[in-house]
Amino acid sequence: MRFETTGIDGLIAVRLERHEDDRGSFARLFCREEFAAAGLKTEFVQQSLSVTPKAGTLRGMHFQHSPHGETKFVHCVRGAIYDVVADLRRNSPSYLHWQSFRLDADGEVSLYIPAGCAHGYQTLQDNCEVLYQMDMPYRPDFADGCRFDDAALGIKWPLPVTVVAKKDLEWPPLRTAAG
């Protein structure tokens, strides 16, 4: 694994090192020792899988407030997604900056997303599956979000949004949601 810093403080692109032969390929998605050596969290208490049948579907932008803010480790295991991380940490040098990545099942990139950042993605193909690991359990009373089209962020999505959850359309403007 190779750990690469990004434009958002604490957001790490984890590049897989694939080993290929006549059978196909093999790559480790997670190694506790390598994560610890890179100064990253190594204890994940929850693992989730999202399955999304239609291209253009948007999930996000989601986060949890302290003291239950989640560090996430995200990998696309089927299909392809446009993954976006937005920094909502007021004291961060990258506050209100966002960065996007193409994650796909054939790719080599996973994302280590620090607590305090909103996360969302748009499916680029039909039938996508995304694997998440979180260091904190989901707590609905601390869950929050901001709209995918919030003017404070100005995220540019690659496709027209075809499906989005009702709750994701009802988030208040970011200036009142983050903190």
Our count of domains for the chain comes to 1
CB 76 within 8 A of CB 108: no
What pLDDT is stored for residue 174 in this prediction? 85
* Cα–Cα dist 161/92, whole Å: 30
Output 27 or 37, whichever has higher pLDDT. Answer: 37
Q: Residue 50's domain spans which residues?
A: 7-13+44-177
What pLDDT is stored for residue 7 in this prediction? 96
Task: Give the model's confidence band at 177: pLDDT under 50 very low, under 70 low, under 90 confident, else very high.
Answer: very low
**Is residue 103 included in any domain, yes or no?**
yes
**Is residue 170 included in any domain, yes or no?**
yes
What pLDDT is stored for residue 107 in this prediction? 83
**Is residue 63 included in any domain, yes or no?**
yes
**Is residue 19 included in any domain, yes or no?**
no
**Is residue 85 included in any domain, yes or no?**
yes
**Is residue 20 included in any domain, yes or no?**
no
Which one of 19, 62, 75, 138 is the catalytic residue? 62
Fill in the amino acid letter for 8: I
Per-residue CA distances from 105 to 7, 57, 94, 125 (Å): 24, 17, 29, 11
Q: Is 132 marked active-site? A: yes
Instruction: Name the burial class of residue 106, with classes exposed (0-12), middle (13-18) and buried (19+) by CB atoms within 10 angstroms of its CB.
Output: exposed
Which one of 19, 97, 132, 138 is the catalytic residue? 132
Q: What is the DSSP letter of 72?
A: E
* Cα–Cα dist 38/4, whole Å: 10
Is the pTM higher than 0.85? The answer reads yes
**Is residue 112 included in any domain, yes or no?**
yes
**Is residue 58 included in any domain, yes or no?**
yes
What CATH number is attached to the domain comprising 162? 2.60.120.10
Could you tell me how far CA 144 lies from the centroid of its own chain? 15
